[in-house]
Amino acid sequence: MSKFKFEGLSNAERLTLLSAKSMFSFDEAAWFIGVSASHLYKLTSSHQISFYKPHGKLIYFDRKDLEAWMRQGRTSTTEEIEQAATNYVVTGKVGGR
């Protein structure tokens, strides 16, 4: 596989390129999740984000793993919080169970 210069592309070109891929290189993954290369390195070295290292040197990321990582830490809307509070007052149980 040839080395591709990802840095020289516009955002639209990057998005077009990445839309067809299921596995990303390090630079592609950093751009996809919107973090710097040093921050992505920190995430990988602390095992906070999953990655693949097939030959022991280069690392790759699965699109689904990156999307799942970005979905962590969801914050509830005001409406959801109010509904949970109403359910708690009515039923006395967290989550309305």
Q: What is the pLDDT of residues 66-96, one digit of tens each?
A: 999 999 988 999 999 999 999 889 988 776 4
pLDDT in tens, 21-38: 899 999 989 989 999 999
Report the alpha-carbon distance of residue 41 to residue 29 in Å, rounded: 11
Q: Which amino acid is at 32?
A: F
CATH number of the domain at 11-96, please?
1.10.1660
Domain coordinates in residue numbering, the chain:
11-96
Report the alpha-carbon distance of residue 32 to residue 47 in Å, rounded: 18
* Per-residue pLDDT at 4: 56
Report the alpha-carbon distance of residue 29 to residue 17 in Å, rounded: 12
Cα 10 vs. chain centroid, distance in angstroms?
Answer: 21
